[in-house]
């Protein structure tokens, strides 16, 4: 009988947890309202509330053991939210780089820009395809670009400590194609000269990227003309005139990709069809939103998985800590609970009261953990080698409300399970035995 | 030691509580084991005796830039260089451009410089004799269900052939095995093709070389040899940068992520929670035994032995949970490696992790037990018995 009941309880738990995972926040709010209404309006509810108040008012006497629940869950939520915010910040930085109104054309079957090579004819043909916006002079807004890697000394490292930065050679229309890029210091590079502009992120990562200074790429000396900001992945790059980059890297007249501004986002399908219909071209085209979102997929998945695994293991630890505390709390109050039962309180209010107490502590832990993660990690600068790129990508961890909600959900789930079993034990305690207990 | 049964009995006085605490400790040390394995795999990458002998010579400009093949003969002349070989990045992908494979076009003597990659003599001969032959790593072959004799299509995401076609065909002639699982897990994932076939087929390479690998005669002179090699091309348009394999890998991983920082912050949070939790358990355990402890003192247990017994109890608690947790991690790590289809290559939880883990267990045991043990020691018999 006992085994069957425990099995039923476990099954109930699984169902509740699955429901909880898919529940959006309005659903949770509604649930909270329903519980509150039940507590205030029904007889059983009011009984539960009064028992819960007694339990909660004695929390102060058990500060140490209650802190185990709060701190344990705060730790889980903090680490989980921090790791997920890393994935979020990374994906967001790349996603923001693209948009629906620009498209990137590369040689077919190239996984990323670095791997693509397009000859001069293809580049010219792509730029002449219908669907591309044109400037006042009637020139298409298309920037043939060359993406290569450059070794630069890392800031704070020894001279031998070199990192890889993505160097993008851009065409004359790059500024019109990517209006988000603006110079924040210095000036643009001069076409035809060995001059660079550096993204803010790149300037943070690498030494010597200061306007007016010279840096060495290979055996050549380049002048840093300015610093640009764009608020996305481009900020981790260094830009120069495509023709000069091609010369340095011995790429002749070939380019890696063409980024174009579409006359209208709706024209993308037509643009794609036109490119595919051209027998002289063997290219793939994607909106930049698509292209950059895809680049972040692999890395984001890895970070998310790591976050979930670490969070789950920590969650198990915290869950058992909560169980321990609540079992002890129930045992300490065995007489009091038995008295309540003896004077006519049913089992349900006792169960609800213990659960409420645990979940309240869990909620507190979740809020503290989320708040800590937000306070410490929101906007924290991190960098990694980007998928599909050849340089360091600088990004900020971003703790979104969505992530905080995920953290709270975890906290409440741990609180729910951690409270359920001790609550059931409290309700099932034989009254006579418990009354006799010292 | 003669009090062990007493300590043991005290520990399992409340089975539920001890069990619940143990699970929390197990979870904490399981996480410690897993994360430490990840950290160790980052630290050990490229660190082998063979790796220390090898210098990687790449373009100073950037790692994607190719070098002229004429350098090979020049590098071979540098005093201290035993062998020199070269390779190109092929950028292969199987079935889908995003399904990338670590594929290199290599010189005929490439494998001679990597004694930690084992391949049978017949297969090696077949590779040299078959123009479109390919040697594939053990795990890679497992992942895609390839076997010797298979003819497989492979896309190059970088190099088309003369007709502009990016689909290459290879005949699998042999399987590579890594003999050094600790630092050379990567070799199980490799796909090697003949450089000659590569260079003949694509019009984009034209005899260039991605990077050179040299083996030095004397490990102590690697720095000098590296400088001498770089001097060959100084002030040319193809300056080189030579690094030991070890340094190159370390540099690469450092750019990928600051694993040490991430691991230590997570573990900080985990262990802080653990201390509080186990500390709470020990407090409860000693508090509810107050009268028992008083009785023990009455019958002659000294203050110091009371202190020692409570400390021993908490250390034992941590050790029990910690050993089980680390043991689980030791079992799980290879399973994760296998389950990820070779994506993750974690070394097993090594002796260093175990030593560090054991140290932490004892340390936390002492910290956790300190306050309850002190209160047990200072216990006043008369007061405690009256309670």
Residues of chain A with Cβ-Cβ distance to B253 below 8 Å are none
SS3 B317: helix
Chain B CB within 8 Å of residue A361 CB: no
pLDDT band at B344 (very low <50, low <70, confident <90, very high): low
Contact A362, A67 (CB under 8 A): no
Q: Does residue A350 register a pLDDT over 90?
A: no
Contact B104, B130 (CB under 8 A): no
| Spatial separation of the C-alpha atoms in residues B156 and B167, rounded to whole Å | 7
SS (H, E, C) B7-18: HHHHHCCCHHHH
| Spatial separation of the C-alpha atoms in residues A363 and A353, rounded to whole Å | 15
| Whether residue A200 is found in the same domain as residue A303 | no
A103 part of a folded domain: no
Residue B338 confidence (pLDDT): 66
* Mean pLDDT within A193-216: 89
In angstroms, what separates the C-alpha of A327 from chain B's closest C-alpha?
8
A3 part of a folded domain: no
* Mean pLDDT within A412-432: 88
* Mean pLDDT within B186-212: 87
Total domain count for chain A? 2
Nearest CB among A109, A164, A328 relative to B62 is that of A164
Cα Dmax for chain B? 98
Residues of chain A with Cβ-Cβ distance to B336 below 8 Å are none
Nearest Cα residue in chain A from B100 = A111
| Spatial separation of the C-alpha atoms in residues A52 and A67, rounded to whole Å | 18
Size of interface A-B (CB pairs under 8 A): 156
| Spatial separation of the C-alpha atoms in residues A199 and A116, rounded to whole Å | 23
| Whether residue A335 is found in the same domain as residue A269 | no
| Spatial separation of the C-alpha atoms in residues B118 and B180, rounded to whole Å | 10
Beta strands A283-287; A102-107: pairing state:
antiparallel
In angstroms, what separates the C-alpha of B83 from chain A's closest C-alpha?
25
Residue A281 confidence (pLDDT): 83
Question: Is residue B70 within a helix (H) or strand (E), and if so which, with residue range?
Answer: none
CA quadruple A359, A363, A364, A368: dihedral positive or negative? positive
Q: Does residue A341 register a pLDDT over 80?
A: yes
Contact A77, A408 (CB under 8 A): yes
Please, how many CA atoms are within 13 Å of residue B341, restricted to the half-sphere of its CB? 8
Nearest Cα residue in chain A from B99 = A111
Partner residues linked to A237 by β-bridges = A166
Residues of chain A with Cβ-Cβ distance to B281 below 8 Å are 324
Q: Does residue B346 register a pLDDT over 90?
A: no
Q: Is A375 exposed, middle or buried (0-12, 13-18, 19+ CB in 10 A)?
A: exposed
Residues of chain B with Cβ-Cβ distance to A310 below 8 Å are 31, 35, 266
CA quadruple A367, A368, A370, A375: dihedral positive or negative? positive
Whether residue A71 and residue B65 make contact (CB cut-off 8 A), yes or no, is no
Q: Is B86 exposed, middle or buried (0-12, 13-18, 19+ CB in 10 A)?
A: buried
Whether residue A164 and residue B60 make contact (CB cut-off 8 A), yes or no, is no
Which domain-ending residue is among A281, A315, A347?
Answer: A281
Q: Does residue A351 register a pLDDT over 60?
A: yes
Residue B185 confidence (pLDDT): 63
What are the tokens at A11?
């099954």
| Spatial separation of the C-alpha atoms in residues A323 and A320, rounded to whole Å | 5
Q: Does residue B47 register a pLDDT over 70?
A: no
Whether residue B61 and residue A248 make contact (CB cut-off 8 A), yes or no, is yes
**B165-198 per-position pLDDT tens digit:** 778 899 999 998 888 665 556 788 889 999 999 9
Arithmetic mean of pLDDT over chain B: 84
In angstroms, what separates the C-alpha of A149 from chain B's closest C-alpha?
5
Residues of chain A with Cβ-Cβ distance to B255 below 8 Å are 163-164, 383-385, 392
Which domain-ending residue is among A281, A304, A332?
Answer: A281
Arithmetic mean of pLDDT over chain A: 86
**A26-54 per-position pLDDT tens digit:** 888 899 999 999 988 888 888 888 888 88
Whether residue B60 and residue A148 make contact (CB cut-off 8 A), yes or no, is no
**A138-190 per-position pLDDT tens digit:** 888 999 998 888 888 888 777 667 788 889 999 888 888 898 899 999 999 98
**B236-246 per-position pLDDT tens digit:** 778 888 888 87
| Whether residue A134 is found in the same domain as residue A268 | yes
Whether residue A384 and residue B256 make contact (CB cut-off 8 A), yes or no, is yes
Range in A134-138, A187-191, A355-359, B259-263 the model is least confident about: B259-263
| Whether residue A397 is found in the same domain as residue A256 | no
In angstroms, what separates the C-alpha of A248 from chain B's closest C-alpha?
8
Nearest CB among B64, B166, B273 relative to A114 is that of B64
Residues of chain A with Cβ-Cβ distance to B100 below 8 Å are 111
Q: Is B128 exposed, middle or buried (0-12, 13-18, 19+ CB in 10 A)?
A: middle
**A326-335 per-position pLDDT tens digit:** 888 888 888 8
* Mean pLDDT within B88-103: 83
A52 part of a folded domain: yes
A164 part of a folded domain: yes
| Spatial separation of the C-alpha atoms in residues A36 and A356, rounded to whole Å | 11
Name the residue ranges covered by the structural domains of chain B: 4-45+258-386, 61-238
Contact map slice: A 20-39 vs B, CB within 8 A: none
Residues of chain B with Cβ-Cβ distance to A85 below 8 Å are none
Whether residue B23 and residue A316 make contact (CB cut-off 8 A), yes or no, is yes
A16 part of a folded domain: no
Partner residues linked to B319 by β-bridges = none
Q: Of B19, B27, B57, which to mutate for an interface test with A (greatest number of A Cβ within 10 Å)? A: B27
| Whether residue A85 is found in the same domain as residue A115 | no
Query: Residue A174: CB partners within 8 Å, gap ≥ 6?
Result: A143, A145, A181, A239, A259
In angstroms, what separates the C-alpha of B119 from chain A's closest C-alpha?
31
- Determine the length of chain A: 438
Nearest Cα residue in chain A from B97 = A111
Q: What is the DSSP string of A146-179?
A: EEEEEEEEBTTS-TT-EEEEEEEEE-TTHHHH-T
Q: Is B284 exposed, middle or buried (0-12, 13-18, 19+ CB in 10 A)?
A: buried
pLDDT band at A389 (very low <50, low <70, confident <90, very high): low
In angstroms, what separates the C-alpha of B118 from chain A's closest C-alpha?
31
| Whether residue A322 is found in the same domain as residue A422 | yes
Q: Which of A73, A437, A89, A31 is closest to A236 using CA atoms? A: A89
Q: Of A147, A280, A324, which to mutate for an interface test with B (greatest number of B Cβ within 10 Å)? A: A324
Residue A387 confidence (pLDDT): 60
| Whether residue A252 is found in the same domain as residue A346 | no
- Determine the length of chain B: 387
Q: Which of A202, A421, A436 is closest to A338 using CA atoms? A: A436
A15 part of a folded domain: no
Distances (CA, A) of A174 to A124, A239, A295, B11: 15, 10, 21, 71
Chain B CB within 8 Å of residue A115 CB: yes
Whether residue B255 and residue A164 make contact (CB cut-off 8 A), yes or no, is yes
Q: What is the DSSP string of B53-68?
A: HEEEEEESS-TT--B-
Whether residue A324 and residue B20 make contact (CB cut-off 8 A), yes or no, is yes
What are the tokens at A254?
């070939």
Helices (H), A385-436: 401-428, 431-436
pLDDT band at B306 (very low <50, low <70, confident <90, very high): confident
Residues of chain A with Cβ-Cβ distance to B155 below 8 Å are 109
Which domain-ending residue is among A214, A248, A281?
Answer: A281
Indicate the DSSP class of residue B189.
G
What are the tokens at A417?
């399970």
Query: Residue A260: CB partners within 8 Å, gap ≥ 6?
Result: A102, A103, A104, A105, A126, A127, A132, A133, A140, A141, A142, A143, A177, A271
Whether residue B62 and residue A167 make contact (CB cut-off 8 A), yes or no, is yes
| Spatial separation of the C-alpha atoms in residues A107 and A284, rounded to whole Å | 6
SS3 B105: strand
* Mean pLDDT within B99-111: 88
**A272-312 per-position pLDDT tens digit:** 988 888 888 888 888 988 888 888 887 888 888 888 888 99
Whether residue A318 and residue B273 make contact (CB cut-off 8 A), yes or no, is yes
Chain B CB within 8 Å of residue A293 CB: no
Radius of gyration of chain A (CA): 30
What number of other Cβ atoms are within 10 A of residue B162's Cβ?
Answer: 10
| Spatial separation of the C-alpha atoms in residues A126 and A103, rounded to whole Å | 11
Q: Which of the pair, B152 or A346, is modelled with greater confidence?
A: B152
Nearest Cα residue in chain B from A158 = B251
A163 part of a folded domain: yes
Q: Of A150, A219, A222, A280, which to mutate for an interface test with B (greatest number of B Cβ within 10 Å)? A: A219
Q: Does residue B258 register a pLDDT over 60?
A: yes
| Whether residue A45 is found in the same domain as residue A175 | no
pLDDT band at A386 (very low <50, low <70, confident <90, very high): low
What are the tokens at B248?
């190159």
Contact A106, A116 (CB under 8 A): yes
Helices (H), chain B: 4-11, 15-44, 49-53, 71-77, 121-129, 138-144, 195-201, 222-232, 245-256, 259-288, 290-298, 303-339, 351-378, 381-386
In angstroms, what separates the C-alpha of A47 from chain B's closest C-alpha?
30
Beta strands A237-241; A162-170: pairing state:
parallel
Contact B124, B110 (CB under 8 A): no
In angstroms, what separates the C-alpha of A411 from chain B's closest C-alpha?
15
Chain B CB within 8 Å of residue A314 CB: yes
**B112-128 per-position pLDDT tens digit:** 888 888 888 899 899 99
Q: Does residue B343 register a pLDDT over 60?
A: no
Phi-psi region of B104 (alpha: psi -120 to 50; beta: other; left: phi over 0): beta
| Whether residue A130 is found in the same domain as residue A217 | yes
Phi-psi region of B20 (alpha: psi -120 to 50; beta: other; left: phi over 0): alpha
Whether residue B158 and residue A115 make contact (CB cut-off 8 A), yes or no, is yes
Beta strands A392-396; A381-385: pairing state:
antiparallel
In angstroms, what separates the C-alpha of B174 from chain A's closest C-alpha?
28
Contact A78, B269 (CB under 8 A): yes
| Whether residue A332 is found in the same domain as residue A256 | no
Percent of chain A exceeding pLDDT 70 equals 97
A205 part of a folded domain: yes
Residue A96 confidence (pLDDT): 87
pLDDT band at A429 (very low <50, low <70, confident <90, very high): confident
Residue A438 confidence (pLDDT): 55
**A55-93 per-position pLDDT tens digit:** 888 888 888 788 888 988 999 999 999 989 988 988 888
Nearest Cα residue in chain A from B257 = A384
Q: Does residue A2 register a pLDDT over 80?
A: no
Domain hosting A320: range is 25-95+296-436
In angstroms, what separates the C-alpha of A318 from chain B's closest C-alpha?
7
| Whether residue A205 is found in the same domain as residue A352 | no
């Amino acid at each position: 009988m006992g085994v069957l009941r425990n099995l039923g309880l476990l099954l109930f738990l699984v169902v509740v947890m699955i429901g909880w995972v898919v529940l959006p926040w309005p659903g949770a709010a509604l649930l909270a309202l329903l519980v509150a209404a039940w507590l205030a309006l029904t007889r059983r509810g009011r009984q539960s509330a009064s028992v819960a108040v007694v339990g909660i008012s004695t929390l102060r006497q058990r500060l140490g053991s209650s802190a185990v629940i709060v701190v344990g869950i705060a730790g889980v939520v903090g680490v989980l939210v921090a790791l997920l915010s890393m994935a979020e910040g990374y994906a967001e930085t790349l996603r923001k780089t693209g948009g629906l109104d620009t498209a990137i054309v590369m040689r077919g079957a190239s996984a990323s820009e670095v791997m693509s090579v397009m000859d001069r004819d293809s580049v010219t043909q792509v730029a002449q395809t219908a669907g591309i916006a044109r400037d006042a002079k009637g020139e298409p807004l298309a920037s043939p670009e060359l993406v290569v890697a450059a070794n630069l000394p890392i800031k704070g490292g020894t001279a031998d400590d070199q990192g890889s930065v993505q160097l993008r050679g851009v065409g004359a229309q790059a500024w019109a194609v990517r209006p988000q890029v603006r110079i924040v210091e210095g000036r643009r590079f001069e076409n035809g000269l060995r001059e660079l502009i550096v993204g803010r992120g790149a300037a943070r990562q690498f030494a010597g990227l200061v306007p007016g200074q010279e840096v060495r790429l290979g055996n050549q000396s380049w002048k840093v003309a300015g610093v640009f900001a764009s608020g996305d992945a481009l900020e981790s790059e260094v830009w120069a005139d495509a023709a000069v980059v091609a010369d340095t890297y011995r790429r002749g007249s070939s380019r890696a990709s063409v980024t174009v501004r579409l006359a209208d986002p709706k024209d993308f399908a037509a643009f794609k069809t036109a490119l595919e219909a051209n027998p002289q071209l063997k290219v793939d085209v994607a909106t930049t939103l698509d292209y950059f979102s895809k680049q972040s997929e692999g890395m984001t998945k890895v970070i998310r998985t790591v976050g979930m695994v670490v969070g789950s293991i920590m969650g198990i630890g915290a869950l058992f800590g909560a169980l321990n505390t609540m079992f002890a709390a129930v045992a300490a109050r065995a007489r009091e609970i038995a008295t309540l039962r003896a004077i006519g309180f049913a089992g349900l209010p006792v169960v609800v009261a213990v659960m409420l107490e645990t979940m309240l502590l869990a909620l507190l832990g979740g809020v503290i953990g989320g708040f800590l993660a937000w306070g410490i990690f929101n906007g924290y600068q991190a960098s990694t080698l980007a998928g599909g790129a050849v340089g360091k990508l600088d990004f900020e961890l971003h703790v979104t409300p969505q992530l905080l909600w995920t953290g709270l959900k975890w906290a409440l789930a741990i609180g729910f399970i951690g409270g359920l079993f001790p609550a059931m034990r409290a309700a099932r305690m034989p009254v006579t035995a418990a009354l006799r207990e010292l | 030691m003669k009090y062990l049964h007493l300590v043991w009995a005290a520990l399992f006085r409340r089975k539920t509580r001890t069990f619940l605490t143990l699970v929390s400790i197990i979870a904490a040390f399981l996480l410690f084991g897993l994360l430490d394995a990840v950290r160790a795999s980052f630290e050990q990458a490229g660190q082998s005796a063979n790796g220390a002998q090898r210098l990687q010579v790449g373009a100073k400009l950037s790692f994607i830039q190719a070098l002229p093949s004429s350098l090979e003969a020049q590098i071979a002349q540098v005093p201290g260089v035993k062998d020199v070989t070269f390779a190109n990045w092929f950028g292969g992908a199987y079935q889908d451009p995003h399904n990338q494979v670590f594929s290199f076009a290599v010189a005929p003597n490439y494998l001679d410089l990597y004694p930690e990659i084992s391949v049978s003599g017949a297969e090696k001969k077949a590779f040299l004799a078959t123009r479109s032959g390919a040697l594939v790593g053990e795990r890679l072959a497992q992942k895609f269900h390839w076997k010797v004799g298979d003819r497989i299509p492979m896309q190059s995401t970088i190099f088309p052939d003369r007709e502009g076609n990016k689909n290459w065909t290879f005949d699998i002639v042999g399987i590579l095995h890594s003999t050094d699982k600790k630092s050379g897990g990567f070799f199980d994932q490799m796909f090697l093709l003949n450089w000659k076939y590569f260079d003949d087929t694509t019009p984009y390479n034209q005899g260039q070389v991605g990077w050179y690998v040299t083996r030095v005669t004397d490990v102590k002179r690697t720095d000098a040899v590296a400088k001498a090699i770089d001097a060959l091309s100084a002030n040319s348009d193809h300056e080189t940068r030579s690094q030991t394999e070890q340094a190159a890998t370390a540099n690469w991983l450092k750019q990928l992520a600051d694993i040490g920082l991430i691991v230590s912050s997570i573990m900080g949070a985990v262990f802080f929670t653990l201390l509080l939790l186990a500390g709470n358990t020990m407090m409860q355990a000693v508090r509810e035994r107050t009268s028992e402890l008083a009785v023990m003192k009455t019958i002659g247990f000294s203050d110091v032995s009371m202190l020692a017994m409570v400390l021993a109890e908490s250390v034992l608690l941590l050790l029990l949970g910690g050993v089980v947790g680390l043991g689980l991690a030791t079992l799980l790590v290879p399973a994760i490696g296998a389950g990820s289809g070779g994506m993750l290559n974690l070394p097993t939880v090594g002796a260093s992790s175990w030593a560090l883990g054991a140290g932490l267990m004892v340390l936390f045991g002492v910290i956790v037990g300190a306050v309850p043990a002190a209160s047990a020691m200072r216990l006043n018999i008369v007061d405690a018995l009256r309670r």
